[in-house]
């Protein structure tokens, strides 16, 4: 660790990994309800489990991003974080808000807008934490060296915090309500978070492959430009059926098709950097997660996103298991795996453990990624059948659901593999010992 204040990141990562465990366990529970519908129905209804699953996902990913910023900004800016105290205060506010949200869901209090169900006071807490973060990290960057990585990271984080304001706007008109809602949900994952992803990926590539900074920066500019160009008007792919004018069908279809480009560019970027890089960094696990993240993001967001983004297709697939298949693989590849890449890179440094044994970490990559891939295939098959029977044949929703039991059982199996992988990952970060470096053959003089 070069800068003392980077240590703050450790506590963000720790909190993030705890919530990650809760998130996947919540998913598994929700998956079991699909197999056995009355399971826990009285004490912990499905909608509450689902809220805990999706909200903890978003919160831990954000904690991971904040932690990543506190870790990499000092190195890039070549100075300590402006205020370590503020960074801890921000973390405490976020954790109190999280507990408050979960507590209120458990007693049935929630706002009822998917992903934005938090009670109003929690939303304000998040706003305060976001402001603290922006001030803290911006003052750090402004006082130090400015790099493309920190500029893009900051731009992404500023915009995503600003978009949070739309979470407070909830008009009575249902179409407007949905429009504002998507301005948070879509403009996060398909615009601002992409900038954060590009910046973190750029930092990891710089460290892991030893490629020149100028090369990394050129790629980053292309990724950021294509992400914003496509992602902003791409929001239109959520405006097809919410009561907005018909031209959104064309705007959404055309611009969201371009959204594939930045994800393709990020995947190409990662592989080209590894190919061109001269450095043989010992942290192979972080490299595996980085390459895995950009590849799975391309498939989950790019390929599975394009699958249902044209309005002629979406007319049939809207809100089916196809959507869930895409949502899972896209979130996993782009943001879960990317965060785990950052943890894999930073944790051994923060815990002064390098070089450490990476076998379990890499095994967890294959277990989790294999599980998510299988879950995606299963849900895609289920969604195809659902689309056909419900939207083309015209059977009732529940009649169709009854036919899909086998798929939901398989989804549960895939989910169990993901949970095992996640627990293995957490274990590998905390419990694993240092690698025993075997002494090499000793050169005998004169030989």
Residue nearer to ligand HEM on the CB measure, 45 or 282:
45
Partner in contact with 114, chosen from Fe ion, ligand HEM, none, beta carbon below 5 to 8 Å by kind:
ligand HEM
Distance CA(444)–CA(155), nearest Å, equals 57
Partner in contact with 336, chosen from Fe ion, ligand HEM, none, beta carbon below 5 to 8 Å by kind:
ligand HEM
Least Cβ distance, residue 323 to ligand HEM (angstroms):
4
Question: Within a 10 A sphere around the Cβ of 446, how many other Cβ atoms?
Answer: 4
Least Cβ distance, residue 417 to ligand HEM (angstroms):
8
- For the chain, how big is the Rg over CA atoms in Å? 22
CA neighbor of 196 nearest in space, from 353, 73, 74: 73
x/- track of binding to Fe ion for residues 136-175 (CB under 5 A) = ----------------------------------------
Least Cβ distance, residue 311 to ligand HEM (angstroms):
9
Question: Is-cis flag, bond preceding 240, omega within 30?
Answer: no
SS3 356: strand
Residue nearer to Fe ion on the CB measure, 50 or 326:
326
Residue nearer to Fe ion on the CB measure, 232 or 420:
232
Residue nearer to ligand HEM on the CB measure, 110 or 238:
238
Partner in contact with 90, chosen from ligand HEM, Fe ion, none, beta carbon below 5 to 8 Å by kind:
none
DSSP letters, 38-66, are TTTTTTS-HHHHHHHHHHHHHHHHHHHHH
Dihedral in degrees, nearest 10, Cα atoms 407, 409, 415, 420: -140
Residue nearer to Fe ion on the CB measure, 186 or 207:
186
Long-range contacts for 99-108 (Cβ within 8 Å, ≥24 apart)?
Answer: 100/125, 101/55, 102/52, 102/55, 102/56, 105/48, 105/51, 105/52, 105/55, 106/44, 106/48, 108/48
Strand partners, 434: 356
Contact by Cβ (8 Å): 105, 48: yes
**Binding of residue 186 to Fe ion (CB under 5 A):** yes
Residue nearer to ligand HEM on the CB measure, 138 or 257:
257
Interface contacts to ligand HEM, rule CB under 6 A: 24, 27-28, 30-31, 34, 50, 53-54, 57, 114, 189-190, 237-238, 256, 259-260, 297, 301-302, 305-306, 308-309, 314, 318-319, 323-324, 326-328, 330-332, 334, 336, 411-412, 415, 418-419
Residue nearer to Fe ion on the CB measure, 238 or 411:
238
Residue nearest to Fe ion (CB): 186
Partner in contact with 432, chosen from ligand HEM, Fe ion, none, beta carbon below 5 to 8 Å by kind:
none
Cα 47 to the chain's mean position, in Å?
22
Contact by Cβ (8 Å): 404, 24: no
Given the rule CB under 5 A, which residues bind Fe ion?
186, 190
């Amino acid at each position: 660790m070069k800068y003392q204040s980077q240590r703050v990141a450790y506590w963000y990562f720790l909190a993030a990994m705890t919530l990650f465990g809760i998130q996947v366990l919540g998913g598994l529970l929700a998956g079991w309800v699909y197999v056995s519908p009355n399971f826990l129905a009285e004490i912990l209804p499905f909608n509450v489990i689902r809220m805990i699953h999706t909200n903890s996902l978003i919160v831990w990913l954000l904690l991971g991003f904040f932690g990543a910023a506190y870790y990499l900004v000092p190195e890039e800016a070549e100075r300590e974080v402006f205020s370590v105290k503020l960074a801890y205060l921000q973390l405490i506010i976020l954790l109190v808000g999280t507990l408050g949200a979960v507590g209120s869901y458990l007693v049935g209090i929630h706002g009822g807008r998917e992903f934005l169900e938090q009670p109003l006071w929690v939303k304000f807490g998040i706003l305060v934490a976001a402001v603290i973060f922006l001030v803290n990290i911006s003052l750090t960057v402004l006082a130090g060296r400015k790099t493309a990585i920190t500029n893009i990271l900051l731009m992404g984080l500023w915009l995503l915090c600003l978009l949070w304001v739309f979470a407070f706007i909830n008009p009575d008109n249902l179409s407007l309500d949905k429009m504002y809602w998507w301005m948070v949900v879509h403009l996060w994952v398909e615009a601002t978070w992409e900038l954060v992803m590009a910046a973190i990926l750029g930092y990891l590539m710089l460290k892991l492959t030893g490629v020149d900074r100028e090369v990394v920066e050129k790629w980053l500019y292309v990724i950021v430009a294509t992400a914003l160009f496509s992602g902003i008007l791409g929001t239109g792919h959520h405006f097809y059926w919410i009561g907005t004018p018909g031209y959104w069908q064309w705007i959404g279809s055309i611009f969201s098709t371009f959204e594939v480009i930045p994800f393709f560019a990020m995947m190409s970027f990662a592989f080209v950097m590894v190919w061109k890089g001269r450095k043989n960094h010992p942290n192979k696990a972080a490299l595996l997660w980085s390459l895995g993240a950009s590849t799975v993001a391309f498939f989950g967001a790019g390929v599975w996103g394009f699958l249902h983004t044209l309005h002629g297709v979406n007319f049939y697939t809207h809100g089916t298991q196809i959507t869930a298949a895409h949502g899972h693989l896209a979130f996993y590849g782009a943001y879960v795996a990317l965060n785990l890449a950052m943890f894999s890179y930073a944790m051994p440094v923060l815990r002064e453990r390098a070089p450490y044994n990476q076998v379990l970490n890499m095994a967890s990559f294959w277990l989790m990624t294999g599980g998510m891939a299988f879950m995606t295939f299963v849900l895609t098959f289920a969604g195809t059948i659902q689309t056909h029977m419900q939207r083309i044949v015209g059977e009732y929703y529940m009649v169709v659901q009854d036919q899909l039991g086998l798929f939901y059982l398989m989804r549960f199996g895939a989910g169990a593999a993901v949970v095992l992988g996640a627990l293995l990952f957490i274990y590998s970060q905390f419990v694993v010992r240092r690698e025993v470096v075997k002494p090499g053959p000793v050169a005998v003089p004169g030989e």
